Structure 1
Amino acid sequence: MRLTDFWQRLEQVFGPGYAKSIAHDQVLSQLGGLTIEQALAGNFDTADVWRAVVAAYPERVPSRLR
């Protein structure tokens, strides 16, 4: 998954403003206690980070974006 696709999906799920806040502030256990921004900066695969978002927010992510 390209990084631009990742951010588009995150914004579709949370809205543009809230997506940035989630990425910056929310620590995900699925990412080893890192935020989305930290994981992406640490060279985690974007698809793995997206799967962590889906696992953390299953009720928010529509099936078409999983």
Structure 2
Amino acid sequence: MSHFWTLMDDEFGPAYAGSLARDHVLGTLQQRTALQAIADGVPPREVWEALCDDMDVPPERRLGRDDRVARGAQGGSAR
């Protein structure tokens, strides 16, 4: 779930991501919102892909930003 929200925030911004997940109805997920689908047991990856399709997110942005530094890597935080 945390990766789902990271992808959502990166692509849509934190404020819009929450609204989109809560309010946008996805036909491919049986007319449910992202949050409803997840609550009903649909895997977050499937929900993310449905949102990407519906919102025309290009394939090169569907795996998330590539400028993040992994925790523990040089320049990253080791928390």
Sort the TM-score into its range (normalised by shorter chain).
Answer: 0.7 to 0.9
Task: Give RMSD over aligned pairs.
Answer: 1.4
Question: Which of 36, 43, 46 matches 1:45?
Answer: 43
More helix by share: 1
Q: Which runs of 5+ in 2 are unaligned?
A: 64-79
| Sequence identity percentage | 35
Q: Which runs of 5+ in 1 are unaligned?
A: none
Tell me which structure has the larger Cα radius of gyration: 2
Question: How many residues of Structure 1 are paired with residues of Structure 2 in the alignment?
Answer: 63
Distance 2:52 2:60 in 1: 10
Q: Provide runs of 4+ in structure 1 moved above 4 Å.
A: none
1:16 to partner: Cα distance: 0.2
1:63 to partner: Cα distance: 1.1
TM-score by length of 1: 0.85
Query: Hey, what does 1:64 align to over in structure 2?
Result: 61
